[in-house]
Amino acid sequence: MSENAVIELRKVGKWYNSYHALRDVSLTIKKGEKVVVCGPSGSGKSTMIRCINRLEAHQTGHIIVNGTELTDDVKSVEKVRKQVGMVFQNFNLFPHLTVLQNLTLAPIWVRGMAKSEIEEIAMMYLRRVRIPDQAHKFPGQLSGGQQQRVAIARALCMRPEIMLFDEPTSALDPEMVKEVLDVMIELADEGMTMVCVTHEMGFARSVADSIIFMAEGTIIESGSPAQFFENPKSERTRQFLGQILEH
Ligand SMILES: Nc1ncnc2c1ncn2[C@@H]1O[C@H](COP(=O)(O)OP(=O)(O)OP(=O)(O)O)[C@@H](O)[C@H]1O
């Protein structure tokens, strides 16, 4: 693994039956780096980040997270999952559990933490995402922005070193996007290693250290926000930016 790399993909290939979703994808992410992944629908963005915590299994190449290579061995998957938190587009909260129970479920059952201890930690994270007063409500009683902040707090309760975000704001009404992005910006400021699939180009411009542009299962280009926005190398990137920035 390259020096300082916390995530390394080497020539990763992934097929869904005969559909080639990732084609020789290689990248290195360093500790504390904020990476935004963008690209047209179906380009493999979700697949790539889902492979990083083995929600999907790659078939060729290598994925190494903090020195552990992801393989079929359950131990490698468990080890990596302990270090990687994930936030999904649709929150993925358990509707029949309260907010607090959503946060404490995995720490109690997966980590074996004492209920009183994790409840205290969970309340700390709910305060951090500014919704401690919602702890005893059910997800259905919360706005989308609040539910997504619960999902972020839930991931943080597992004390991850790396956070993966898969379009965390795209299911939200516009007025709720900012409240979720603000929490993500705070995490970025605190030095969290973050990989975010998002079309929030303001966030990409101001927060990302690097931007990866994907199309048809490959990385077309990657570079700093300045390079990506002001001087993209590929015509595909220019077309994409033209479409996305005019909205
Ligand atoms: N479980 C699956 N089974 C079969 N095909 C899949 C599966 N998941 C994704 N695909 C296909 O793989 C391709 C890449 O999908 P992926 O969700 O990674 O793209 P994406 O860039 O994240 O797209 P979007 O922006 O629309 O979320 C798409 O053509 C998609 O239809």
Give residue-wise pLDDT tens across range 2-32: 668 899 999 999 999 999 999 999 999 999 9
Task: Report the domain count for the chain.
Answer: 1
In the sheet that holds 193-197, the strands lie side by side as 84-87, 162-166, 193-197, 34-38, 210-215, 218-223
Residue 39 lies in a domain: yes
Q: What CATH number has the domain bearing residue 74?
A: 3.40.50.300
Residue 138 lies in a domain: no
Taking CA atoms only, the protein residue closest to ligand 1 atom 6 is 16
94 CA from centroid of ligand 1 (Å): 24
Q: Are 62 and 69 in contact (CB under 8 A)?
A: yes
Q: Which domain holds residue 219?
A: 5-90+162-246
Assess if residue 121 is contained within a domain. no
Q: Which pTM was predicted?
A: 0.95
Nearest CA to ligand 1 atom 13: 42
Find the distance separating the first CA and the last CA of the chain, reported in whole Å.
Answer: 40
Q: What is the pLDDT of residues 191-241, one digit of tens each?
A: 999 999 999 999 999 999 999 999 999 999 999 999 999 999 999 999 999
Q: Which atom of ligand 1 is nearest to the CA of 214?
A: 21
Cα separation, 166 vs 164, whole angstroms = 7
> Which of the four pLDDT bands, split at 50, 70 and 90, describes residue 1?
low
Residue nearest to atom 12 of ligand 1 (CA): 21
CA 42 – ligand 1 centroid, Å: 5
User: Is 209 among the domain residues?
Assistant: yes
- How many CB atoms within 10 Å of residue 204? 21
Question: Would 107 be classed as within a structural domain?
Answer: no
Cα of 44 vs centre of ligand 1, distance in Å, is: 6
In a domain, 29, yes or no: yes
* Token couple for 187: 């995490």
Kindly report, residue by residue over 112-133, the tens digit of the pLDDT. 899 999 999 999 999 999 999 9
Ligand 1, atom 25, lies closest to the CA of: 41
**239 within a domain of the structure (yes/no):** yes
CB-ligand 1 contact for 146 (6 Å cutoff) = no
- In-domain check, residue 14: yes
Mutate to test the pocket of ligand 1, among 38, 47, 165, 200 (most ligand atoms within 8 A of CB): 47
